[in-house]
A = this chain, B = another copy of it.
């Protein structure tokens, strides 16, 4: 079992970071502009992605935990086969002027090339989250940072 792990520090309160992780409009501001559904425990967020105007699919994400200013946990309900059933979590804590986000995407069956790609891509999305909270503007899809020939 291999995991994708990241750590970013955001000059803000954990409350503001929690808001960006726990609301549909927040997620739309750093991951993908086309975020639909409900960010409520037991409900699904529906993330859709395009590149160059072409639909490249997306994920349905079930919200498992919403613990204000502390923790958000999702489970992938639908999407690419290697994503389905995997868990994505964000743990928050305040360290001085920084809200620290410990990110985990767990449940990958193997360290595939796709997983290498997603690890780098998650890093850029965590930097997008940081930018959104610090400046009011992230780089969600379709304006996300392109890292390779897959996106």
Q: Which residues of A contact B (CB under 8 A)?
A: 2-9, 95-98, 100, 102-103, 111, 113, 115-117, 119-120, 123-124, 126-127, 130, 145, 147-150
Assess the B148–A100 pair: CB atoms within 8 A: yes
Assess the A123–B119 pair: CB atoms within 8 A: yes
In the complex, which residues of chain B have a beta carbon less than 8 angstroms from the beta carbon of A9? 147-150
B113, B124, B130, B150: the one contacting A123 at CB < 8 Å is B124
Closest 4 CB pairs of A and B: A9-B148, A123-B123, A7-B116, A98-B149
Taking A7-B117, A7-B148, A119-B119 as given, write out 18 further A-B residue pairs in contact, using a Cβ cutoff of 8 Å, ordered by the A residue number. A2-B5, A4-B5, A5-B111, A5-B116, A7-B120, A8-B148, A9-B148, A9-B149, A95-B149, A96-B149, A98-B149, A102-B113, A102-B116, A103-B116, A120-B127, A123-B124, A127-B145, A127-B147
The 12 listed contacts between A and B (C-beta, < 8 Å) are A2-B3, A2-B5, A4-B119, A5-B116, A6-B116, A6-B123, A7-B113, A98-B149, A100-B148, A102-B113, A124-B127, A130-B147
